[in-house]
Amino acid sequence: MDSSGSAQSHLEHGRVLLQLENISKEFPGVKALSDVHFDLRSGEVHAICGENGAGKSTLMKIVSGVYQPTSGTILHKGRAVQYASPLESEAAGIAIIHQELNLVPHLSIAENIYLAREPRRGFLVDRKTLRADASRCLGRLGIDLDPDQLVRGLSVAQCQMVEIAKALSLNAEVLIMDEPTSSLTEQETRLLFKVIRDLKASGVGIVYISHRLDEMAEIVDRVTILRDGRYISTDDFSAVTVDNIVTRMVGRSLEEKFPERMSKPTDEVIFSVKGLSRKGVFHDISFDLRRGEILGFAGLMGAGRTEVARAIFGADGFDAGTITFEGRELAISSPQDAIAEGIAYLSEDRKSDGLAIKMSVAANTSLANMDAVSNRFGLIDFKKHDDAARRYVDLLNIRTPSIKQTVRLLSGGNQQKIIIGKWLFRQSRILFFDEPTRGIDVGAKFAIYKIMDELAAKGIGVILISSELPEVLGLTDRIAVFHEGRITGIVETARTNQEEIMRYASGYSSGDRHVR
């Protein structure tokens, strides 16, 4: 962190922009916040840390008018306020970048950035000005995207950058960033941090919510910690260590980031892909998965990892190649085919592709296996339906008031466990985990890692797709590294390091293709 720049900013600005006093919020069956307080000064980045379910996002949704507090006071520049909607808070100079992407897929990037605020010429939208203004917002972030491109064609990371550009377009005094780097590459994160420093220098107050604690040292001035919906502490970031923060977040020491491995790989190949190709997307993809192993897919954004997984799952097509499971070649042309063969894909966008977020825990658990909870007349047997949900809630230690709880009200870590439970109930035998810990706190990450290891130990095939190299190195047995739609290397995890993986991921290896 640039302490001199931070100090200068506090001298020039430093006035309290936002103050929260004794904020409480209750939902049916859940007390999300209890007497929480927090303040934000102009020209600072103030981080809020806590496990999933600690109340961070709920607190910020109250500030931005998404929720109303059950009790407590919000002071904005010294005046007591209570915003009835996000539009009211935006008009007052408060902008929020939600962890859940809130873009309209069938509209363009420019239309999303200026949604309901489009420049007009009389009664008509001024398309030329709209495009120019959107280009300037994207340019501030160093994003090379066509403002006229439809959002539905963007990757999750690109959507995240559009969300950030949308917030910056509001010229807000208070900017709330909820997991802004969770889908960004290292280069994109650097660009975002530069924008944050510029905003600090201009006096903007930034609330920063992230589970990537190591990156905070570069930009954060103060940190407030919440646990179980309660306030724990506020400190200058320079006065605490990451270990201090983690201990306060979880209420216990968390010495190990990864579980001790139970699974032991054998030489038996249970799943094999040979020569898988799709014109313009990926080419000649070949790898084996052994019984008891966790295989990692590493690479930079757009390298083809997710595209290969989706092709194997039948969500997207492929032009050539074979997929073999336990010695039998599979014919997969749709997700239904893959599911019937015991293959599951846990998408990186769990709320759009993995869950029915307005439905209950029980309904989501049974979603991929309705036959198992239906009677001979095709009607749901609610005893079987609820028993299945209780079994996986207990097995995966899902924290929920009941199996009837609406999934959208649960934390990200618990939502991820519900998706795992759904596919285990389907008796899936090959699981692709695509960015499974995106937006999940350190405690929940450990639980997900443990589940993955336990699955591998039971002989279920596990493939981990992750942009976090420490995660890939900490959990896998071998790593397939992707670059521009090709696998440039398959390495033994115990014999490699981040530098070697990055060489393969960047296309710079000692040979044209080195696989071991």
User: Beta strands 222-227 and 45-49: pairing type?
Assistant: parallel
Task: Answer whether residue 382 is part of any domain.
Answer: yes
Q: Is residue 72 in some structural domain?
A: yes
Whether residue 516 has pLDDT greater than 50: no
- Asked if pLDDT for residue 232 goes beyond 60, the answer is yes
Residue 348 within a domain: no
Same domain, 499 and 465: yes
Mean pLDDT for 378-399 is 89
Give me the torsion for CA of 217, 222, 228, 229, rounded to 10°. Answer: -140
126 & 178 share domain: no
**Residue 350 placed within a domain:** no
Confidence of residue 252 (pLDDT cuts 50, 70, 90): low
Q: Which pLDDT value is given to residue 2?
A: 41
Domain contains 231: yes
pLDDT at 246 > cutoff 90: no
Comparison of pLDDT for 301 and 198, the residue scoring more: 198
Q: Of the candidates 171, 192, 210, which is a domain's last residue?
A: 171
List own/partner pairs for 190-193 with CB under 8 A and 24 or more apart: 191/141, 191/142, 191/143, 192/141, 192/164, 193/218, 193/219
Domain tally, the chain: 4
Where is pLDDT greater, at 368 or 440? 368
Q: Which position has the higher pLDDT, 214 or 99? A: 214
* Contact between 277 and 321 (Cβ < 8 Å): yes
Nearest C-alpha neighbor of 482 from the set 287, 267, 271? 287
pLDDT for the residue numbered 506: 78
444/118: higher pLDDT:
118
What is the rounded average pLDDT of the residues 249-275?
83
pLDDT tens column, 375-384: 888 898 899 9
Whether residues 203 and 336 fall in one domain: no
pLDDT of amino acid 416: 86
Judge if 436 and 471 occupy the same domain: yes
Rounded to 5 degrees, what are φ and ψ at 491? -120, 150
Whether residue 196 is contained in a domain is answered as: yes
Report d(CA 54, CA 193) in Å as an integer.
25
Per the confidence metrics, is the pTM higher than 0.75?
no
Quick one: pLDDT at residue 55? 87
- Give whole-number Cα distances, 236 to 11, 97, 240, in Å: 16, 24, 7
Name the band, by pLDDT with cuts 50, 70 and 90, for residue 52: low
Mean pLDDT (whole number) for 158-173: 86
- pLDDT at residue 431 in the model: 92
Query: What is the domain-level CATH number for residue 482?
Result: 3.40.50.300
Candidate from 143-147, 247-251, 302-306, 428-432 with smallest mean pLDDT = 247-251
Question: Which of these three, 255, 286, 314, is where a domain ends?
Answer: 255
- Residue 128, token pair as written in the block: 């030329």
- Please compute the mean of the pLDDT values over residues 242-262 and round it to a whole number: 77
In single-letter form, the type of residue at position 45 comes to V
pLDDT for 12: 46
pLDDT (tens digit per residue) in 188-227: 788 888 889 988 988 999 999 987 787 888 999 999 999 8
CA-closest candidate to residue 181, choices 148, 146, 216, 147? 216
- Where is average pLDDT lowest: 251-260, 305-314, 469-478? 251-260
Range of the domain at 359: 355-428
Is the same domain home to 271 and 166? no
Same domain, 61 and 208: yes
Residue 513: the pLDDT is 42
312 and 396 co-located in one domain: no
Q: Do 336 and 265 belong together in one domain?
A: yes
User: 3-class SS at 497?
Assistant: coil
Sheet of strand 269-278: strand arrangement: 282-290, 269-278, 320-325, 328-330
Q: Inform me whether the pLDDT recorded for 453 exceeds 50.
A: yes
104-150 pLDDT per residue, tens = 999 999 999 999 899 999 999 999 999 999 999 998 887 889 999 99
CA 250-46-179 angle, 5° bins: 65
**Rounded average pLDDT over 143-164:** 87
349 within a domain of the structure (yes/no): no
Is residue 511 pLDDT above 70, yes or no? no
Question: Are 153 and 70 within one domain?
Answer: no
Q: Tell whether the model's pLDDT for residue 450 goes beyond 70.
A: yes
| pLDDT band for position 11 (cuts 50, 70, 90) | very low
Q: Please, which pLDDT band fits residue 99 given cuts at 50, 70 and 90? A: low
Are 106 and 248 within one domain? no
Q: Which of 75-89, 153-167, 291-305 has the lowest mean pLDDT?
A: 153-167
* Residue where a domain stops, chosen among 123, 141, 171: 171
User: Are 394 and 493 members of one domain?
Assistant: no
Mean pLDDT of the chain: 87
Rounded-to-integer distance, Cα 251 and Cα 235, Å: 17
The predicted model gives 3-27 an average pLDDT of 70
Residue 390 to residues 336, 385, 421, 470, 486: CA-CA distances in angstroms? 26, 9, 10, 34, 42
Same domain, 373 and 408: yes
Cα(280)–Cα(400) distance, integer angstroms: 44
Residue 347 lies in a domain: no
- How far apart are the C-alpha atoms of 29 and 414, rounded to whole Å? 16
